[in-house]
Amino acid sequence: MARSGKSKEPPGTARLWLMRGLKAGLIALVAAVVAIVVAVVIAMQSLPDYSSLKSSPNGQMIRVHAADGSVIVSLGPSFGRWLPYDQIPQVMVDAMVSTEDKRYYLHPGVDPIGMARAAWVALENRGKGRRLQGASTITQQVTRNIFLNNSYSWGRKVREMVLALALERKFSKRQILELYLNKVYFGGGAYGIDAASRKFFGHPADSLNLPEAAIIAGLVKAPSSYSPTADAEAAIGRAGVVLDLMQENGAISAAEHASANLADVKMAPEPPQNSVRYFTDWALPQLDTLITEPNEPLEVYTTIDLSMQRAATAAIQANVPKGSQGALVALDRDGAVRAMVGGLDYVISNYNRATTATRQPGSAWKLFVYMAALEAGYTPDTGVTDEPVTINGWSPRNSNGRFSGDIDVRTAFAYSVNTVAAKLGVEVGFPTIADMARRFGISTPINTHPSMVLGTSDVRLVDMTRAFASVARKGIAVAPYGITRVTTADGRLLYEHQDDTSRVLVAPWVAAGLTDLMQTAVSTGTGRAAQIGRPVAGKTGTTSSNKDGWFLGFSSGITTGVWMGRDDARAVGGLQGGRAPARAFADFMKVAVAKRPVEQFDTQVTLPEWQLEPDAEAYYGAPDNGMGGGMMVDENGLPLERAQPDEPQADNPDADARPDPADRPAPQRLDQQWIDQVLGRDRQRPAQQRPDP
């Protein structure tokens, strides 16, 4: 009989290979266990002590305080008070364990059952792009938050497991829970249960009740999706799942579950993104130049006065013309920014028109023209002539199209007489005026064309306000600042502002003379709407075709600048510096100085020689420019559209009806000798003569 071609293996061969396989697997398992033990031992040796783990940063937090110490905004991750395990409510511990790791007290740091479940889920969903779910224990989450990152890879997962095993060998379950509950991220920038409790419920975490604990525990799974401030309904729905898990895990009874009314939980209101963010957006970037601490949480104390900020916001919103924007900056006498409004609504537009936008200041620029003139020897009583003037083909005229003849400097400034400003520019020199503006903090480019005396160079509101504040400080330089001091969370001082009074920009008598002029402008000139019942000095500004309206002034130690106009620089009907901006200034200043004593200026108000037309800042070309003599043109000779006011003109006497000089009482002469007497100077200054044109 023929034998089969297939040879049969001896009966013991299959069993032999099986035994060899089992032995190899056992050896591999033992080797793996030994390798894990060695890795865990090495990891244990490298782990820091518990106090170091508590202080390890999750990122830099910045808390910004107002002048009264209250927190106005928190940026970056926020951390509450560290709660020792004994101070953490048991319902919070139970809620977190039931939700995140129900076998926490049974496993050694890695949960084999959870890993098997995760592996099964991964097998079912292979090829669908889903990540491994449900395998991380609380201990693994702690190691990931402190030592690793959230990037997903098998290498990172192995390191996480080794560190978790080492962590459980070195620290107790209570210590690990304490780390977890004080460091886990709950959304909204809140790290730890105390920060989350304060953010979402407005109270510390040591007083959390069951419904609140369930809401917080439900946030860990998806902080952005279940955040109460983002979606309160989703947060409450997720909290209901947490309560179910707590009952299933035996942490609460059915009765306790039923009595936990999630609908009764009161959420803390989310602070609105109001106008104070204009200030913080401007101030906080300055930290890079003030300190070098990159990691520790910072406490930043600022100059902003919240009551003034509210008043500033209300003043701008109440007075800005329809379809326009407005901005306001208020400086204390040392440059501290007390209020800053960069627009009507920060949420709609976070563009800061107070510090970033550049616009023409109109006659507000005459601050530098007249200051240069005073420094050159003019006084408020110096005689000047309002008459036609042509400079290199450019012929400015006044708002009423007429000329008043012989007047004094005070009258010319009070009624913003354009022809006199132009003549002063010629006499003192346009580069001299530009230098004066630079001296007082104007940082934008300045042209030296003749029309520059009427404010044709673009400026920033904060720079103009700074210049007026330096006049209010009697010629001493003022630098706007918003940060008074910076400390770490434990109180270590990193920076403190020091006031610098060493830079004198002009002599005190020059600042006093200009204050004299600006008082008159508010008392009876173009700035009458800015009166607040106490001494105010200020100046209006209106650009061609009513595109920009300005008012800047000071009283009782507060200097405030207001700008209004359209972002697209289109004309705004009826917009003049002496109207809406001046009214906004008055509305704000009545609140800002209400609790301050009334301060008199070094010079008293002196009325001008007679009443003239108010400021309208018209630009006219030379009579022979081919435009008919009466058409408005800019400094380049281009025609301008004259905006029609949308409200009645201010009540102004007819400029032609000039009173007889004999019927006028002689005004008090404010010459240099009088100013020296007011300022207490004993020395005699030589009499100043009006410079020859």
pLDDT in tens, 634-645: 333 333 444 444
Buried b vs exposed e over 270-283: b needs ≥16 C-beta within 10 Å? eeeebbbbbbbbbb
Buried b vs exposed e over 605-643: b needs ≥16 C-beta within 10 Å? ebbbbbbbbbbbbbbbbbeeeebeeeebbbbeeeebeeb
* Domain count for the chain: 2
Residues 348 and 243 in one domain: no
> What is the crossing angle of helices 193-201 and 173-183, to 10°?
40
What is the pLDDT, as a whole number, of residue 646? Answer: 41
CATH number of the structural domain spanning residue 252: 1.10.3810.10
Percent of the chain residues topping a pLDDT of 70:
76
| Model confidence at 273: pLDDT above 80 | no
Among 593, 611, 629, the domain-final residue is: 611
The band of 169, judged by pLDDT with boundaries at 50, 70 and 90, is confident
Residues 207 and 318 in one domain: no
What is the pLDDT, as a whole number, of residue 488? Answer: 87
Tokens 């009258």, residue located: 411
CB 576 within 8 A of CB 540: yes
Q: Which residues contact 455 (CB under 8 A, 6 or more apart)?
A: 360, 361, 362, 363, 364, 365, 366, 541, 543, 617
Tokens of 245: 């898990």
Quote the CA–CA distance of 602 and 382 in Å, as a whole number.
19
Mean pLDDT of the region 226-237: 78
Coil vs helix vs strand at 548: strand
What is the pLDDT, as a whole number, of residue 643? Answer: 43
Residues 344 and 198 in one domain: no
What is the pLDDT, as a whole number, of residue 139? Answer: 85
Q: Which residues contact 535 (CB under 8 A, 6 or more apart)?
A: 519, 555, 556, 598, 599, 600, 601, 605
The band of 491, judged by pLDDT with boundaries at 50, 70 and 90, is confident
Residues 322 and 181 in one domain: no
Output DSSP code: residue 577: T
Residues 437 and 504 in one domain: yes
Mean pLDDT of the region 480-490: 92
Mean pLDDT of the region 387-399: 88
CATH number of the structural domain spanning residue 427: 3.40.710.10
Mean pLDDT of the region 63-76: 86
Q: Which of the given ranges, 119-123, 202-206, 445-449, 664-668, has the highest pLDDT on average? A: 445-449
Positive/negative CA dihedral, 131, 137, 142, 143: negative
Residues 351 and 251 in one domain: no
The band of 153, judged by pLDDT with boundaries at 50, 70 and 90, is low
User: 489 vs 63, 79, 119, 293, 353, CA distance in Å?
Assistant: 9, 10, 44, 12, 33
The pLDDT tens digits for 676-685 are 554 555 544 3
The larger pLDDT score, comparing residue 88 to residue 114, is at: 88
Evaluate whether residue 9 is within a structural domain: no
Among 611, 646, 668, the domain-final residue is: 611
Quote the CA–CA distance of 37 and 298 in Å, as a whole number.
41
Positive/negative CA dihedral, 311, 324, 272, 318: positive
Residues 184 and 328 in one domain: no
| Model confidence at 472: pLDDT above 90 | yes
Residues 249 and 395 in one domain: no
Residues 436 and 355 in one domain: yes
CB 409 within 8 A of CB 381: yes
What is the pLDDT, as a whole number, of residue 683? Answer: 45
Mean pLDDT of the region 98-105: 86
CB 440 within 8 A of CB 480: no
CB 556 within 8 A of CB 532: no
The larger pLDDT score, comparing residue 229 to residue 407, is at: 407
| Model confidence at 332: pLDDT above 50 | yes
Average pLDDT of every residue of the chain:
81
Residues 428 and 570 in one domain: yes
Evaluate whether residue 530 is within a structural domain: yes
Evaluate whether residue 279 is within a structural domain: no
Evaluate whether residue 332 is within a structural domain: yes
Query: Closest by alpha carbon to 495, among 338, 289, 336?
Result: 289
What is the pLDDT, as a whole number, of residue 330? Answer: 98
Residues 319 and 244 in one domain: no
The band of 232, judged by pLDDT with boundaries at 50, 70 and 90, is confident
Evaluate whether residue 321 is within a structural domain: yes
Residues 110 and 237 in one domain: yes
The pLDDT tens digits for 300-323 are 999 999 999 999 999 999 999 999
Evaluate whether residue 28 is within a structural domain: no
The band of 369, judged by pLDDT with boundaries at 50, 70 and 90, is very high
What is the pLDDT, as a whole number, of residue 651? Answer: 34
Evaluate whether residue 244 is within a structural domain: yes
Mean pLDDT of the region 413-434: 94
| Model confidence at 629: pLDDT above 60 | no
Q: Cα-flanking dihedrals φ and ψ of residue 90, to 5°?
A: -60, -35
Mean pLDDT of the region 61-89: 85
Evaluate whether residue 514 is within a structural domain: yes
The pLDDT tens digits for 552-585 are 999 999 999 999 999 999 999 999 999 999 999 9
The larger pLDDT score, comparing residue 337 to residue 644, is at: 337
Tokens of 457: 């160079």
Quote the CA–CA distance of 566 and 303 in Å, as a whole number.
29
Domain that holds residue 118: 50-123+132-259
Among 560, 594, 611, the domain-final residue is: 611
Tokens 């901006």, residue located: 581
What is the pLDDT, as a whole number, of residue 147? Answer: 73
The band of 22, judged by pLDDT with boundaries at 50, 70 and 90, is confident
The pLDDT tens digits for 561-570 are 999 999 999 9
What is the pLDDT, as a whole number, of residue 107? Answer: 84
| Model confidence at 228: pLDDT above 80 | no
CB 672 within 8 A of CB 379: yes
CB 446 within 8 A of CB 556: no
| Model confidence at 615: pLDDT above 60 | no
Tokens of 40: 């865990």
